[in-house]
Structure 1
Amino acid sequence: MPRVKQRTEALHERGLASAMAVLAEAGVAGLTTRTVAERARASLPAIYEVFGDKAGIVREIFFEGFRLLGAELAALPPAADPLEALRRLAEAFRRFLLAHPMLAEVMFSRPFADFDPTKDEARAGAKVRRIFVQHVRNAVDAGQLDGDPTDIALIFFTLVEGLAAAENAHRLGGSKQSSDRRFRLGVNTLLDGFAT
């Protein structure tokens, strides 16, 4: 009797969940096709069949990271004040990056030599970019910020991502209080700089 192929949606989901768990627990160095297969209780050939190779696994992690981040940011409750909404957006983005440091590394630092995102992969963050641009546009339309919403949103996003990366690397301060203070100082200074 021929062996039943394991290439199923269930194996894809199990493999992706396993890859995310391995990344979170063992970091970039611990993420191999073999560790993902072992964690998913699947054969190595089955994982290769579903994901292609290690770069395929990393690609799926990359997409899943942006899907999770987009969903989290989209679920933020609205705020009457657009600047307060931007501060809440910054804090939510920061929380996500601090809660998932290895995932953030895959999404923003490209630590795998065999995974170089193409234009298609770059589109993975489109929802996140739209959320940032819309929040900034609301502040511009309300007369609270002055400038091109896309430019401001990109600078704002980059600042928050950079501050969170520094915090993950323990370069933003030796205590939560000092990290919080410096993070808010950075966000408020940027917003003040674009104020009308």
Structure 2
Amino acid sequence: MPRLKQRTEALHERGLASALAVLDEAGVTGLTTRTVARRANASVPAIYEVFGDKAGLVRAVFFEGFRMLADELSALPPAEDPLEALGGLADAFRGFIQAHPVLAEVMFSRPFADFDPTHDETKAGVKVRRIFVQHVRDAVDAELLTGDPTDIALVFFTFVEGLAAAENAHRLGTSKQSINRRWRLGVNALLNGFQAPTSR
């Protein structure tokens, strides 16, 4: 089958989809411009022309990961209980990490030596942070949590991200039952620590 030669947005989208598929199948070490070009039915020079270099390709994957995560979190159904909503947010974040473990590594662990996110690139997670802050603010407004919503949201996000990384590294246990129990124990204990005395 002849390789497609156009340098278009379609090639960018095809290259990005190919990069995500290569990450899923071959991991970080398998992501090269050559493997992405082959999967996208494009030439290596075409991939370089669209993404600039390998760091540019990883950068595109980085942004796409946060877009996907924000879309999933934005689509969560509303819950009447803000604390229940926060638990659902943690579960959704966990589900994303489980479904995309290597992509999550690119987003949060910086595994590529030739790609170190700049200040502008770290803004990719702004929408995700806003979702966490809004959920926490709802709980604070309902007087179920006490403290600064931004501070609580940052601690909550960091805790959940770390817990998800520990689960992916098989450090939370060997059975699904024990892992789920420790997840719930950790999330509940953290939220309980931020609860107003009257709501405990």
Interval of TM-score (by shorter of Structure 1 and Structure 2): over 0.9
Answering whether residue 61 of structure 2 is matched by residue 61 of structure 1, we say yes
- Maintained 8 Å contact 2:23/2:31: yes
Distance in 2, matches of 1:122 and 1:186, equals 27
- Maintained 8 Å contact 2:5/2:42: no
Distance in 2, matches of 1:20 and 1:99, equals 12
- Name segments (4+ residues, structure 1) moved above 2 Å: none
* Partner SS state of residue 170, structure 1: coil
Distance in 2, matches of 1:89 and 1:6, equals 41
Distance in 2, matches of 1:176 and 1:63, equals 31
Distance in 1, matches of 2:5 and 2:148, equals 52
Superposed CA RMSD:
0.9
* Structure 1: gaps of 5 or more residues: none
Distance in 1, matches of 2:143 and 2:25, equals 45
* Partner SS state of residue 42, structure 1: coil
* Partner SS state of residue 111, structure 2: coil
* Partner SS state of residue 98, structure 2: helix
Aligned to 1:148: 148
Per-residue CA deviation, residues 4-63 of structure 1 (Å, 9 max, x unaligned), is 962101100000000000011000000001100011010000000000000001000000
Answering whether residue 192 of structure 2 is matched by residue 195 of structure 1, we say no
Following TM superposition, by how much is the alpha carbon of 1:120 offset from its aligned partner in structure 2, in angstroms? 1.2
User: How many residue pairs end up in the alignment?
Assistant: 193
* Partner SS state of residue 171, structure 2: coil
- Maintained 8 Å contact 2:145/2:195: yes
TM-score normalised by the chain length of structure 2: 0.95
Aligned to 1:89: 89
Q: Letter of the aligned partner of 1:60 in structure 2?
A: A
* Partner SS state of residue 135, structure 2: helix
Following TM superposition, by how much is the alpha carbon of 1:119 offset from its aligned partner in structure 2, in angstroms? 1.3
* Structure 2: gaps of 5 or more residues: none
Distance in 2, matches of 1:135 and 1:82, equals 7
Answering whether residue 18 of structure 2 is matched by residue 21 of structure 1, we say no
Aligned to 2:36: 36
